[in-house]
Amino acid sequence: MTHTKFSDSVHSLLSGIVDYAGLFPPSQLSMSDAVANYANYKRSDYNWILGRFVIPTARLDEFSGSARKFLSDSKFGVWKLSVLAGDDIFETVRQIEDFNRASAPSVVCDSIEVKADTSRMIEDIAQIIPAHFATYFELPINKNLADLVQALAIRGQGAKIRTGGVTESAFPKNEQIIRFIKTCLAAKVPFKATAGLHHPLRSIKPLTYEIDAATGVMNGFLNVFLAAGFLRQGCQEKFVDELLEDKQAENFAFNADGVFWRQKYFISTAELKNLREKNIISFGSCSFEEPIADLQEIGIL
């Protein structure tokens, strides 16, 4: 893989791309360990790749206790959290707003993630969550997807796709990923992804960190993010399916002007920046170190 070290295209694609979800499977760390990791990542050479700290609403108080020593130190900067909503949306909003009032200015919850499977749920929840939160609705990829995404578009909300998990059945098929991306692009709905994306390229990997864990085909975050970029250009689904399947690092080449796939298909740096600002926002990963190590191994970092 050829590249210019930390070129504009790499920065445009990777800035803030990883929302750290160390509390969740398969890592499932303790709060103190996850918070300490995030603090270390914020001070690392690759802190520009780091996004938000992902946390369930019910654990905000626990976070405050574990993070206090870091939050009092200005060298760590502002911590931004993405909060997974509980079953009671009114209570979720109350807890988050109480937390923000008590924690400002060193930490802020500015993003909420919530599940919904009907347009009515989206409408009801969107009316409850204040507009100053960026809200992402995790949607099922079924026959109602277009209606659900349209409901998000009408209310100015974001979408979320689950791209994996700890079992093979948790990974959507390529055609489902493509359908989700195309639907969001057409409706101008920003979206994020979660789970199963902590390797940059499609690969066969253990699905958990257990000894003798089952292996499975995992999606690559470079594959998925660049698939969104090429779909945005209007490329055909067959082409994008081949991209999602690609495991070969040498097929992805970054330079200052953009990124090439297979030497002839191109997304410019300006397109990458716009893609990240308007369309595919970030992905949640229980590991920050694995994406960095893999990106170094294939020559991007």
Residue 244 lies in a domain: no
Q: Is residue 30 part of a domain?
A: yes
Average pLDDT score over residue span 98-123: 95
Q: Look at 35-44, 67-76, 158-167, 188-197 and tell me which has the smallest mean pLDDT.
A: 67-76
- CATH number reported for the structural domain that contains residue 52 in this entry: 3.20.20.70
Separation between Cα atoms, residue 217 and residue 197, nearest integer Å: 11
Q: Is there a domain that residue 175 lies in? A: yes
pLDDT digits (tens, 9 = 90+) for 125-155: 999 999 999 999 999 999 999 999 999 999 9
> CA angle at residue 26 from 23 to 27, to 5 degrees?
45
Residue 216, pLDDT > 60, answer yes
Answer whether residue 166 is part of any domain. Answer: yes
The answer as to whether 242 is a domain residue is no
Burial grade of 15 (CB within 10 A; 0-12, 13-18, 19 or more): middle
Average pLDDT over residues 253-257: 93
Going by DSSP bridges, is the β-strand pair 191-194/79-84 parallel, antiparallel, or unpaired? unpaired
Domain count of the chain?
1
- At residue 209, the pLDDT reads 83
Amino acid at residue number 134: A
Range of the domain at 117: 16-215+280-297
Query: pTM of this prediction?
Result: 0.94
Band (6; pLDDT cuts 50, 70, 90): low
pLDDT category of residue 5 using cuts at 50, 70 and 90: low
Q: Answer whether residue 5 is part of any domain.
A: no
| Residue 208, in any domain of the structure | yes
Model confidence band, residue 44 (pLDDT cutoffs 50, 70, 90): very high
The residues facing 55 across adjacent strands are 83
Strand 265-268: give its sheet, edge to edge. 252-255, 258-261, 265-268
pLDDT at 2: 40
Higher pLDDT, 207 or 108: 108
Domain membership of residue 107 (yes or no) is yes
pLDDT in tens, 68-85: 989 877 677 889 999 999
Name residue 109's beta-bridge partners: 81
